[in-house]
Amino acid sequence: MKVILLAGGLGTRLGEETQAIPKPMVQIGGHPILWHIMKLYSYYGFQEFVVLTGYLSHVIKSYFVNYYEQYSDITVDMEHNKVELHKMRTEPWKVSMLYTGEHTMTGGRIARARSFDGVADVDIPALLEFHKKGGRLCTLTAVQVAGRFGTLGIDAQGGVGQFTEKPLDDTSWINGGFFVCEPEVFDYIGSGDDVTFEREPLEKLACAGQLGAYKHRGFCSAWTRNAIRPCSTAYGNAVKPPGKSDHEHKR
């Protein structure tokens, strides 16, 4: 099974972070966001990826082309113009990178792949099992986000019996960006570059009863400029995706 990764957007929510590099290449814990997502899938046995590039696509391509040099010890013989690699750190991945246009919307990018917006510790096998049991064409991963403000529990006499800082709202779920799709989903997308997958295609799938939601209650970080540092801290401390120690071992 191939994993399709959307990596072509402009990343405007990250401000100056994406002026020189695309959003998937922003560093978290010493590695690009894209690397972390691929490591999650690799941990569960998925090793073949199709990366749909767009904005500054050459940065992503260069990263994988030069992967060995970045994560291996090297000796540069400048006199004889030779480079020797030592203790090469490799991944069991096969990565295809497709340029899908700088301004193409998400649906258009996916349609071109016929031939992800955050980092999370989603249990991929559980997500797949939920999708299979549901029997729908598409399953998205639903996640919760903390509210913008704290809440107060106020009694009839004006006393505060409870104070909760930015609580999770159990009634509100948003799209977490991890999908499992059957090939028939392409029929809902069409072929136009201006199609946003999260709009018409998903709306039509929902109306047809072909969209399921797997609730993920673990770690998840949506990508905004203010999320980078907290995510780096969380990733390096208490909140860790599965297999993190293995990730670090292979660095």
Backbone angles phi, psi at 120, to 5 degrees: -150, 165
Q: What are the pLDDT digits (tens) for 45-59?
A: 999 999 999 999 999
- Calculate the alpha carbon distances from 18 to 9, 37, 57, 84 in Å: 10, 18, 12, 33
Pick from 192, 33, 216, 20: which is nearest to 111 by CA?
A: 192
Please list the ranges in the chain whose pLDDT falls under 70.
12-13, 113-119, 145-155, 158-171, 220-251
Q: Is 192 helix (H, G, I), strand (E, B) or coil?
A: coil
Residue 125 structure tokens: 């096998």
Q: Which amino acid is at 149?
A: F
Question: What is the set of domains in the chain, with CATH numbers?
Answer: 3-250 (3.90.550.10)
pTM of the model: 0.69
Please name the amino acid found at residue 7: A
The three-state (H, E, C) secondary structure of 142-160, written as one string:
EECCECCCCEEEECCCCCE
**Where does residue 229 rank: exposed (0-12), middle (13-18), buried (19+ CB within 10 A)?**
exposed
Question: Counting beta carbons within 10 angstroms of the beta carbon of residue 238, is it exposed (0 to 12), middle (13 to 18) or buried (19 or more)?
Answer: exposed
- Structure tokens of 70? 């970045």
Residue-wise pLDDT tens digits, 106-138:
888 887 765 445 567 889 999 999 999 999 999
Q: What integer pLDDT is reported at residue 173 of this predicted model?
A: 81
Query: Amino acid identity, residue 175?
Result: N
Rounded Cα distance, 96 and 51, in Å: 6
